[in-house]
Structure 1
Amino acid sequence: MFSRSLVLAAGCIALGFGCGEPANETQEIVGNLVSAGFPSNDIMVVDGKVYVGRDAEVSLDASREMLAASATPGEQYRTNNVVSPSLTKICINGSAFTGVFSTALDLAIQNYDELPLTFSMARTPSTGCSFTINAVIDPNMNGGVAGFPANGNPFGQVTIGGLLSQYGVDVIEHVITHEIGHTIGFRHSDYYNRAISCGSGGNEGDAGVGAIHIPGTPTTASVGTSIMNSCFRAVESGEFTDSDRTALAAMYTASSAPALVSALDPNRCLDVTGGSSAQGTATQLWECNGTAAQQWTLTAQGELRSSLAPNLCLDVFSGDPTPGTRVQIYGCNGTVAQRWTVVGATVRSALAPNLCLDVFNASTTPGTKIQVWGCNGTSAQNWSTR
């Protein structure tokens, strides 16, 4: 969320675009009109003024009223990596923040701490911190910047621009809340078309960190409908929207369905690749993150049902008992390819008497495929629930 050009290997900067930079007034009017349904070829900008129908000038306030009448909830995306459920308290060191910036930081932390997430959030000094994010101020920046999670931990720093002092406390709260969102795994809600909130710009792309749609959020983005839009306005409330809350609940609400944790590494879990609910999606070993992609329920019939969708089961591809056959998710169908038995620490397939759920090559590298293999008693075939 910044307006000057920086090159860093993390967070918003790694995308090659500004993160939440302020949109100018003309850009905001145009963006509001497009979001409200006006065809782009019916919008003209002449001498800094915006017109529709070639002769009707639209003010900023009028464009916001149009948007409010037609706005739809914003979509939400996350990175491949999120914060581990083992982190119960995230603290933020804001010792450099004074005055309105200190107030805004407290309000941003409150935004998260008021929600029933897997972690609480507090400002230092505080006891029981599982991880501490350092918050700093760059006096020459107008916006902010942060990075994405790694190894189950949030990104370690958010940088907030001192030039935000030209706005009110709500806008500064918005920017800080946005940057904290990146540290726990949020992508920009309009990452695929920055023009939605910025008035110009294109697709940030995958950027090597993933852009996974969060279940339960819509698939359209509009100005003002998410705190995670790329650019901010001079009138932000600083509060989460309904879609923001839905996304946070999907990512960080404790579930009764446990994860299957590999004995190879206590932070590696059985995971559905990309969090996709598409039939035939392969499974993999991935950093434990508490999402639905890693939650499994063993039924009385021996199915391992995924929390991604009501009728998705862990399945051996084509019902093939050959060692090395990949394991995927597929619509539950009652076949032996989807029946499993827990024997000690192993998960055994009903396809053959000596066939176990196995991590390929006993590798702990995130993305390693999950397969069936002859049971051999190694850690690659031992699992526990959490």
Structure 2
Amino acid sequence: MSITMFISCTNDSADNEAVNEEVAAELRALGFNTDDLIATTMRGEEGYLVERDIFLTDEDIANLAPRRSVDNGNEVNTEHYRTNNIVSTPRVLNIYFDDGFTRSDVQAAFDEALDRFNALNLDLTFQRANAPGADIDILAERLGRVRGNIILGQSAGFPDAAGNPATPIILNSAVYNPRRGGVPADVVTVIAHEIGHAIGFRHTDFFDRSFSCGQGGDEGDAGVGAIFIPGTPAGPENGSWMLACSSGTDRPFTSGDQTALTTVY
């Protein structure tokens, strides 16, 4: 399953198409909010943009099954969450960062993102790979806008049932490899955010995207699970690296983020 993540919003308009009610009903049955549902094309694939954050094809929708997010038999609605599948451990994850990102400051931001994970002494170790075909490839591509959203990054989804991370991740080279001017301050956070999805973390405000995005509702279980991570704060946490929308600023791991990462890995 391929899931595409978007993080930033603008007021620019973008073309979109109406979605038939049958598809919308299927998505609502899976727990998605369909208020902003549109049909669109992403990287040559036809599909639907759901919750302004998730790109699903017809095949993806057919493969999803309605499930509820529970912890010890109780439905949860609190802070940090992971998917049903996580990466098997202990493991060294080799991550390739596209040499199409020619700016030294962006390459340094990638190294800083890996350092943030490694500083926590997890059972996952993150290291730079020299060529594509790694456990996770982070690739450069100019991405457009969808319904006024600047697409900062696209994640391939979440870990598979065999315990492998999702790959590839696409970062918008128009934003993070600009020909002129500086790189946005959120570059390290966006890289770490997309890696977070690849290893199994949901948005910390998935149950109410308006917390970080200013609009939007519950993303739902989405067929991949949203399991509460014990010990993390109740309610949305300002500054979390896994908030649904970027604030344009750098967000190092909060204490809650660190607890989530060390609990899972």
Same fold (TM over 0.5): yes
- Whole-Å separation in 2 of the counterparts to 1:16 and 1:81: 22
1:77 equivalent in structure 2: 81
Of 227, 236, 243, the match for 2:256? 243
Q: Is contact 2:169-2:194 (8 Å) kept?
A: yes
How far did 1:232 drift? 0.6
Equivalent residue of 2:185, what SS?
A: helix
- Whole-Å separation in 2 of the counterparts to 1:215 and 1:85: 19
TM-score (norm: length of structure 1): 0.45
Relative to structure 1, the CA distance from residue 161 to residue 120 in structure 2 (aligned partners, 3 Å threshold; closer, same or farther) is: same
Equivalent residue of 1:89, what SS?
A: strand
- Whole-Å separation in 2 of the counterparts to 1:14 and 1:135: 23
* Aligned pairs (5 A) from 1:259-298: none
Equivalent residue of 2:261, what SS?
A: helix
2:240 equivalent in structure 1: 226
- Whole-Å separation in 2 of the counterparts to 1:14 and 1:186: 22
Residues 1:144 and 2:153 aligned together: yes
Equivalent residue of 1:83, what SS?
A: coil
2:202 equivalent in structure 1: 187
Which one scores higher on RCO, CA 8 angstroms, separation ≥ 6?
2
2:27 equivalent in structure 1: none
Relative to structure 1, the CA distance from residue 209 to residue 91 in structure 2 (aligned partners, 3 Å threshold; closer, same or farther) is: same
1:209 equivalent in structure 2: 224
Equivalent residue of 1:136, what SS?
A: strand
Cα deviation per residue 1:286-340 (whole Å; 9 max; x = unaligned)? Answer: xxxxxxxxxxxxxxxxxxxxxxxxxxxxxxxxxxxxxxxxxxxxxxxxxxxxxxx
- The letter of the residue matching 2:119 is E
- Whole-Å separation in 2 of the counterparts to 1:246 and 1:212: 14
Cα deviation per residue 1:270-298 (whole Å; 9 max; x = unaligned)? Answer: xxxxxxxxxxxxxxxxxxxxxxxxxxxxx
Residues 1:159 and 2:170 aligned together: yes
Overall identity of the aligned pairs, in %: 38
Equivalent residue of 1:231, what SS?
A: coil
Q: Is contact 1:19-1:144 (8 Å) kept?
A: no
1:36 equivalent in structure 2: none
Whichever of the two has the greater Rg, that structure is 1
How far did 1:106 drift? 1.3
Considering only aligned residues, what root-mean-square deviation do their CA atoms show, in Å? 2.7
Q: Is contact 1:82-1:152 (8 Å) kept?
A: yes
Residues 1:198 and 2:213 aligned together: yes
Q: Is contact 2:101-2:140 (8 Å) kept?
A: yes
Q: Is contact 2:101-2:173 (8 Å) kept?
A: no
- Whole-Å separation in 2 of the counterparts to 1:242 and 1:194: 21
- Whole-Å separation in 2 of the counterparts to 1:18 and 1:149: 22
Residues 1:93 and 2:96 aligned together: yes
Relative to structure 1, the CA distance from residue 102 to residue 17 in structure 2 (aligned partners, 3 Å threshold; closer, same or farther) is: farther
- The letter of the residue matching 1:248 is L
Relative to total residues, which structure has the larger strand share, 1 or 2? 1
Q: Is contact 1:75-1:190 (8 Å) kept?
A: yes
- Whole-Å separation in 1 of the counterparts to 2:182 and 2:159: 29
2:190 equivalent in structure 1: 175
1:135 equivalent in structure 2: 138
Q: Is contact 1:76-1:218 (8 Å) kept?
A: yes
How far did 1:203 drift? 0.7
- Whole-Å separation in 1 of the counterparts to 2:111 and 2:229: 27
How far did 1:185 drift? 0.2
Q: Is contact 2:109-2:187 (8 Å) kept?
A: yes
Relative to structure 1, the CA distance from residue 214 to residue 156 in structure 2 (aligned partners, 3 Å threshold; closer, same or farther) is: same
Residues 1:17 and 2:57 aligned together: no
Relative to structure 1, the CA distance from residue 174 to residue 148 in structure 2 (aligned partners, 3 Å threshold; closer, same or farther) is: same
TM-score (norm: length of structure 2): 0.64
Equivalent residue of 1:170, what SS?
A: coil
Relative to structure 1, the CA distance from residue 247 to residue 93 in structure 2 (aligned partners, 3 Å threshold; closer, same or farther) is: same
How far did 1:15 drift? 8.0
- The letter of the residue matching 1:75 is E
- Whole-Å separation in 2 of the counterparts to 1:82 and 1:218: 21
- Whole-Å separation in 1 of the counterparts to 2:195 and 2:125: 13
Aligned length: 189
Relative to structure 1, the CA distance from residue 199 to residue 167 in structure 2 (aligned partners, 3 Å threshold; closer, same or farther) is: farther
- Whole-Å separation in 2 of the counterparts to 1:228 and 1:15: 20
